[in-house]
């Protein structure tokens, strides 16, 4: 039997229906930057799965009961109870969102000139490493480079490269940070075997091992489905084992916490925890709320319980798989195999008439918006390429992708079918899709702030 969502919809929000002309005007006003589009001009918003999931009646009920005491609030103890149980870390701090967790943790463990090694650093994660004067180095496994390979754990770190780097760089390596699932790498999961091997290497070389665990539940679910020896476990048991392998974690809970806001830092080492705590109190908030309003502590605590429900995870995986099938039927390739939080469209392959300096990923994302009011974002040369001072592309990204995120519990299969129909229309006449030119861009976090110009295709 086909899996179905283990909930019914009790509260809904209307979505805007617009005309092509309105969308043309809106995108031009936004200088062709998806982040500058007002959401009241977006019909289906697949920009991100972060903070965009639907909250449950139980989360809202808990939020209504929140205790706003500055220190030691009931809401904090409920948050602690849930996070302690799942992560097993003796030191757990709430933080307002993932990037704050990164800043607080990294500034307590990394020094300027040191190295952070990862399967793939997420964009804010890389920025927080680099802001400390340290270097973020990605070591994804070999299968990661083959978009069409259906290997089950393409999120793994390259263990041989990790060991080589640990050996050759010695003391320079300040931390190993494994992202589960690998958001920057196609949303692919990391196997438990890979995490165990990372643990052993970090023990051998005396380097702390942290998880960037924004999608800990989805990673656990894919381990249950795909990894030999885990099929009999619950996703909660697998998630607990994953956290137990590491020395600590940073985790945005806007993803698998199914909350509008929130994150957590978990730590074993009391000395690192002490340093983090001082930084947290000085910059985020007292240790029992960490920059979060009490109602958000409650939503997070409840969300972390709900996300581990196997019926929910099964239905979410089925949605992503169904969406992937529709996209493939529309004639568009994705990074295989489909993960759970997003599909990554292979725009480079679809729009072969657009060279990297015309930004095929951005071209496809823009066309999806113009054709159907669907918002998503490129992960290609705009995001990962290097540019000269006049904003000309110097080194293209290895792939020209578009990330189509799937917010949790938010859209029905009919919405996904609509998106696939829009994509199918675009894919029928790929040579009609326009390319783009960068007009202006800041040197850091470029993709959020750039402005572009549209270059219509030759008739
Ligand atoms: C979203 C995300 C972050 C940053 O979290 P925010 O809550 O958006 O600040 C860090 N790492 C990964 C893998 C993420 O997906």
- Read off the pLDDT of residues 76-94 as tens digits, 9 standing for 90 and up: 999 999 999 999 999 999 9
Give yes or no: 161 in active site: no
| Alpha carbon of 99 to ligand 1 centroid (Å) | 6
Tell me, what's the pLDDT at 233?
A: 98
The catalytically annotated residue of 36, 67, 123, 309 is 123
Nearest-CA residue for atom 8 of ligand 1: 98
| Alpha carbon of 2 to ligand 1 centroid (Å) | 31
| Alpha carbon of 283 to ligand 1 centroid (Å) | 19
User: What are residue 265's phi and psi, to 5 degrees?
Assistant: -115, 130
Q: Is the pLDDT of residue 437 over 90?
A: yes
The Cα-based distances of 246 to 198, 224, 285, 457 in angstroms read 9, 19, 26, 51
pLDDT band of residue 347 (cuts 50, 70, 90) is very high
pLDDT tens per residue, range 5-48: 999 999 999 999 999 999 999 999 999 999 999 999 999 999 99
Q: Is the pLDDT of residue 444 over 80?
A: no
pLDDT tens per residue, range 194-243: 999 999 999 999 999 999 999 999 999 999 999 999 999 999 999 999 99
Tell me, what's the pLDDT at 445?
A: 78
pLDDT band of residue 442 (cuts 50, 70, 90) is confident
Tell me, what's the pLDDT at 1?
A: 85
Q: What is the mean pLDDT of residues 298-323?
A: 98
Give yes or no: 255 in active site: yes
| Alpha carbon of 212 to ligand 1 centroid (Å) | 8
57 CB contacts (<8 Å, ≥6 apart)? 10
Give yes or no: 70 in active site: yes
Q: Which atom of ligand 1 is nearest to the CA of 262?
A: 7
pLDDT tens per residue, range 150-197: 999 999 999 999 999 999 999 999 999 999 999 877 899 999 999 999
Q: Choose one of 255, 260, 407, 448 to mutate for the ligand 1 pocket test, by most ligand atoms within 8 angstroms of C-beta.
A: 255
Q: Which domains does the chain have, with CATH numbers?
A: 20-49+309-455 (3.90.1150.10), 57-307 (3.40.640.10)
Q: Which atom of ligand 1 is nearest to the CA of 48?
A: 1
Tell me, what's the pLDDT at 447?
A: 84
Give yes or no: 425 in active site: no
Tell me, what's the pLDDT at 29?
A: 97
Name the average pLDDT for the chain.
96
Q: Choose one of 53, 96, 98 to mutate for the ligand 1 pocket test, by most ligand atoms within 8 angstroms of C-beta.
A: 98
HEC readout, the chain: CCCCCCCCCCCCCCCCCCCHHHHHHHHHHCCCCHHHCCHHHCCEECCCCCCCCCCCHHHHHHHHCCCCCCCCCHHHHHHHHHHHHHHCCCEEEEECCHHHHHHHHHHHHCCCCCEEEECCCCHHHHHHHHHCCCEEEECECHHHHCCCCCCCCCCCECHHHHHHHHHHHHHHEEEEEEECCEHHHCCECCCHHHHHHHHHHHHHHCCCEEEECCCHHHHHHHHHHHCCCCCCCCHHHHHHHHHHHCCEEEEECCCCCCCCCCEEEEECCHHHHHHHHHHHHHHCCCCCCCCCCHHHHHHHHHHHHHHCCHHHHHHHHHHHHHHHHHHHHCCCCECCCCCCCEEEEEHHHHCCCCCHHHCHHHHHHHHHHHHHCEECEEECHHHHCEECCCCCEEECCCCCEEEEECCCCCCCHHHHHHHHHHHHHHHHCHHHCCEEEEEECCCCCHHHHCEEEEECCCC
- From the CB of residue 171, how many other CB atoms can be counted at a distance below 10 Å? 10
Q: Is the pLDDT of residue 314 over 80?
A: yes
Give yes or no: 96 in active site: no
Nearest-CA residue for atom 3 of ligand 1: 98
Give yes or no: 111 in active site: no
Percent of the chain with pLDDT over 90: 95
Q: Which atom of ligand 1 is nearest to the CA of 253?
A: 7
| Alpha carbon of 272 to ligand 1 centroid (Å) | 21
Q: What is the mean pLDDT of residues 338-348?
A: 97
Q: What is the mean pLDDT of residues 381-386?
A: 91
Nearest-CA residue for atom 5 of ligand 1: 98
Nearest-CA residue for atom 4 of ligand 1: 98
Nearest-CA residue for atom 10 of ligand 1: 98
| Alpha carbon of 301 to ligand 1 centroid (Å) | 18
| Alpha carbon of 20 to ligand 1 centroid (Å) | 33
Question: Which amino acids bring their CB within 6 angstroms of ligand 1?
Answer: 50, 97-99, 122, 124-125, 179, 183, 212, 214, 252, 254-255, 263
pLDDT tens per residue, range 262-291: 999 999 999 999 999 999 999 999 999 999
Tell me, what's the pLDDT at 405?
A: 98
What does pTM read for this prediction? 0.97
Percent of the chain with pLDDT over 70: 100
Give yes or no: 344 in active site: no
Tell me, what's the pLDDT at 348?
A: 97
Q: Choose one of 122, 140, 292, 448 to mutate for the ligand 1 pocket test, by most ligand atoms within 8 angstroms of C-beta.
A: 122
The catalytically annotated residue of 49, 138, 212, 247 is 212
Q: Which atom of ligand 1 is nearest to the CA of 102?
A: 10
| Alpha carbon of 124 to ligand 1 centroid (Å) | 7
């Amino acid at each position: 039997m086909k899996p179905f969502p283990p909930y019914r919809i009790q509260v809904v929000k209307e979505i805007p229906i617009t005309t092509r002309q309105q969308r043309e005007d809106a995108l031009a006003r936004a200088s062709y930057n998806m982040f500058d589009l007002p959401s009241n001009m977006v019909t289906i918003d697949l920009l991100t799965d972060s903070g965009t999931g639907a909250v449950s009646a139980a989360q809202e009920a808990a939020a209504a009961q929140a205790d706003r005491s500055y220190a030691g609030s009931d809401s904090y103890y409920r948050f602690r109870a849930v996070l302690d149980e799942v992560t097993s870390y003796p030191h757990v701090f709430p933080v307002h969102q993932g990037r704050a967790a990164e800043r607080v943790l990294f500034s307590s463990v990394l020094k300027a000139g040191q190295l952070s090694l990862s399967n793939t650093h997420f964009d804010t994660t890389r920025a927080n490493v680099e802001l400390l004067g340290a270097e973020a180095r990605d070591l994804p496994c070999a299968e990661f480079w083959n978009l069409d390979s259906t290997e089950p754990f393409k999120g793994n770190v390259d263990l041989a490269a990790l060991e080589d780097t640990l050996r050759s760089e010695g003391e320079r390596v300040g931390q190993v940070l494994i992202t589960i699932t690998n958001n920057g790498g196609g949303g692919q999961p990391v196997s438990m075997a890979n995490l165990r091997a990372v643990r052993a290497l970090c023990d051998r070389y005396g380097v702390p091992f942290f998880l960037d665990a924004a999608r800990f539940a989805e990673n656990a679910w894919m381990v249950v489905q795909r990894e030999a020896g885990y099929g009999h476990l619950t996703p909660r048991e697998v998630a607990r084992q994953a956290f137990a392998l590491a020395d600590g974690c940073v985790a945005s809970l806007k993803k698998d916490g199914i909350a509008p806001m929130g994150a957590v830092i978990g730590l074993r080492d009391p000395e690192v925890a002490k340093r983090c705590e001082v930084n947290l109190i000085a910059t985020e908030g007292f240790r029992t709320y960490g920059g979060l309003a009490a109602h958000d502590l409650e939503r997070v605590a409840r969300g972390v319980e709900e996300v581990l429900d196997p019926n929910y995870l099964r239905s979410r995986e089925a949605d992503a798989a169904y969406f992937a099938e529709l996209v493939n039927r529309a004639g568009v390739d994705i990074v295989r195999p489909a993960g759970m939080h997003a599909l990554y469209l292979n725009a480079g392959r679809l729009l072969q008439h657009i060279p990297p300096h015309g930004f095929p990923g951005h071209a496809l994302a823009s066309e999806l918006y113009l054709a159907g009011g669907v918002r998503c974002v490129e992960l290609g040369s705009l995001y990962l390429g290097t540019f000269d001072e006049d904003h000309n592309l110097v080194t293209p990204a290895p792939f020209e992708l578009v990330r189509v995120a799937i917010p949790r519990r938010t859209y029905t299969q009919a919405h996904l079918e609509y998106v696939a129909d829009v994509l199918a229309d675009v894919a029928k006449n790929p040579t009609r899709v326009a390319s783009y030119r960068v007009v202006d861009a800041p040197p850091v976090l470029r993709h959020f702030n750039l402005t572009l110009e549209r270059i219509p295709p030759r008739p």
